[in-house]
Amino acid sequence: MNTVVSFRDPKMPPKPVVLDSLGEPMSLFTFSFDHDGREFCFDLAAYSWGDAEQRLSSLLQSIRLDGEIHATGTVDFLPPNISVNFTRA
């Protein structure tokens, strides 16, 4: 899979691309790292460039491996009679 990344000047306001749980706009920022001579990247939602830097700092201090992902998908809605309880194993 290829990802096209557009880098913006940090002084320019970022373009909101996702909404937080309160409906507030957030932008996706990309981070890259080297491993075994190859470059990898991931994205992280944040409110601003500074917020992205703070989230990266928190990530560097507290990251942990929680498990392997076996499936991904999108839930558009849940019927009213179904409740979801997310708990950490």
What digits encode the pLDDT tens for the residues 59-79? 999 999 999 988 877 766 666
What is the model's pTM?
0.60
Scan for tokens 């991904």, then name that residue: 72
Which DSSP helix (H) or strand (E) runs through 62? helix 49-62
pLDDT digits (tens, 9 = 90+) for 47-57: 999 999 999 99
Whether residue 50 is contained in a domain is answered as yes
Whether residue 71 is contained in a domain is answered as no
| Tally of domains within the chain | 1
Amino acid of residue 78? L
Whether residue 42 is contained in a domain is answered as yes
Whether residue 57 is contained in a domain is answered as yes
Q: Give the residue numbers spanning the domain of 52.
A: 27-62
Share of the chain above pLDDT 70, in %: 67
Average pLDDT, stretch 21-40? 91
Report CA-CA distances (Å) from 2 to 5, 44, 45, 63, 71.
Answer: 10, 17, 19, 25, 20
